[in-house]
Each structure stands twice: as structure tokens, then as C-alpha cells.
Amino acid sequence: MPTVVLMATTSAGNQPFSRIVDSSKTSSWSIGIPIAIVVVVAVALLAYFAAKASQAREQLAMAEQGAQQQQQQVTQIQQRLGVLDAELNRLRDPGRTTVILQSAATGKRGKVAGGAWGAATWGEQTDAKSWMRLNAYGLAPAPGGKAYQFWFVSASGDSVLAGKLEPNTEGGAFVEGKDLPGVDQGKMAVVSLDDENAKTHGQPLFQAELPKLTPSQHAAPQAQADAKPRAQGEPAAQTPAKPQAQPAPQK
């Protein structure tokens, strides 16, 4: 009977397979870790740039708001300068006329009773209204609840309060009234001692009649249009002729 020779082989279990598995796991980790790091860095960079962009937008919004506020301040300053310039021009204006306000009551020998009097300068504004500046002298302190008031009385009889007088220790006072009726609508300038909330003047302390002046600042719109000079060679406006009636045909 033939003899079968068997060769003994040794195997270390599943070591070859386990080596293959271990090497694949090592290869996956070696690739995955750098990718994860790159993703984390990319996300961090995106978050950083997003925060920077948001911060830049906020700074831009704040800068725009600051620019708007500065523009508003510049506009307010320009408006204020315009008002001050108009006020300065009016203060330089000598006015159209000056009247002396005196008491109508007379004492012995025809002398004016009382020592209070005033001088009022009357001028025009650019909007066809008028202004009046009054310098008053010889005023005693006003009693409690009373006030010296300067009134503009129009030709129609309406009393317009131009301002209140506050005498100093020497009895002098100054007041200026603006936006009064035009220089062709004045009748009287009156100073009276009234209740503080009086709607019209009481017994005049001193007064003056106002002359009727012709406005010089503004002409009527139609008159301005008619007075507008024509350019050289421009034909004058002609009124269209009315059509003439045609004679009826004879039968």
C-alpha cells in the first residue's frame, strides 16, 4: 500500500486578511484626516470673512448715517446763516420814515404831559409786509400784571401787537415788530399800558400818526409782467383782431 506523505503547513490564523484590513483602515484615516482639517479650516475662514463682511456693512451704515447727520447740520447752518444775513440786512435798513410818538395829553402852557416818548422807524420787508423799530424813553416800571405794549393800528382799525416793552433802570426800552401790514396800510403807532394778555390797546400813553406810503418793494404781478422789457428786435404782443362779419349774399 502506497504511503501518502503529508506536508505539515502552519497558518497563523487570519493574519494575512487582518493585515489587508488594517492597511486599508490606515489608508482611509490618512486621507480622511487632512480632508477634515481642510473642511474645518474652510468653514472657519468662511465664518471669519462673513463676520468681517457683517462688520464692514455695519461700519458702512454708521458712516452713511453720520454723513446724513452732517449734511443735516450743514443745511441747518446754511439756513441759520440765511436768517442772520436777512436780519443783518434789515438792521442796516434805515427804513422809509421815522415818526415821534408823544402823549396826546397836554399840561399847563401847552407842554406835553408826562415824560415818556418814543421814536419809531418804519420800513418794508421783501414780502410786501413791513417792520417797525421803537426806541422808547422815560418809562416808569410797569405795575404788577401790566405791561407796556407797542401796537400797530392799520387803516382798517385793526390793532396788531408789534411787541412788548421792558424798561431798563433808566426807563429806556427797545422793541421791534415784524410781519406788520404794508406801508400803505398804516394809521397809528401806539404805546399803551395794558393787561399782559390784552388783545387790543388801551388808553395810549404816547402815539403817532403814520403817513400813507407807496410800496416800493413789490409791484402787482400784472404790472411786473407789463413792465418787463422786451428783447431787442422782439415784436410787441398784439391783440388778435376780432373777425369781421361777412355781408349776407344777395338773393
Query: Strands 159-165, 204-209: parallel, antiparallel or unpaired by DSSP?
Result: unpaired
Same domain, 209 and 109: yes
- 101 and 206 share one domain: yes
Structural domain containing residue 117: 97-215
- Residue ending a domain, among 42, 69, 92, is 92
Q: What pLDDT is attached to residue 23? A: 52
Which of 92, 107, 124 is the last residue before a domain boundary? 92
pLDDT of residue 3: 53
| Strand, helix or coil for residue 90 | helix
What is the structure's pLDDT at 41? Answer: 86
Determine how many CB atoms are found less than 10 A away from the CB of residue 13: 7
Same domain membership, residue 131 and residue 39: no
Single pTM value for the model: 0.56
Cell output for 181: 401790514
Classify residue 141: in a domain, yes or no: yes
81 and 117, same domain (yes or no): no
Considering the domain architecture, whether residues 110 and 208 belong to the same structural domain is answered as: yes
pLDDT given at position 101: 96
Q: Letter for the amino acid at 251?
A: K
Model pLDDT, residue 80: 87
**Residue 220 pLDDT:** 41
Phi-psi region at 128: left, alpha or beta (left = phi > 0; alpha = psi -120 to 50): left
How far is residue 99 from each of residues 74, 88, 133, measured CA to CA in Å? 42, 22, 11
Q: What is the pLDDT along the chain (251 residues), one digit of tens a residue?
A: 555 444 444 454 555 544 445 555 566 667 777 888 888 888 888 888 888 888 888 888 999 988 999 999 999 998 888 888 877 776 778 889 999 999 876 444 434 446 899 999 999 988 889 999 999 999 999 999 999 999 999 999 999 999 999 999 999 999 999 999 999 999 999 999 999 888 899 999 999 999 989 998 654 443 344 444 444 444 544 444 444 545 555 54
CATH of the domain at 140: 2.60.40.200
Q: Is 103 found in the same domain as 78?
A: no
Q: Are residues 109 and 209 in the same domain?
A: yes
How many structural domains comprise the chain? 2
> 73 and 177, same structural domain?
no
Name the residue type at position 238.
Q
Q: Per the domain annotation, does 19 fall within a domain?
A: no
pLDDT in tens, 210-245: 998 999 865 444 334 444 444 444 454 444 444 454
Same domain for 77 and 185?
no
Residues 112 and 210 in one domain: yes
**Domain match, 209 and 138 both:** yes
pLDDT digits (tens, 9 = 90+) for 117-150: 999 999 998 888 999 999 999 999 999 999 999 9
Residues 141 and 183 occupy one common structural domain: yes
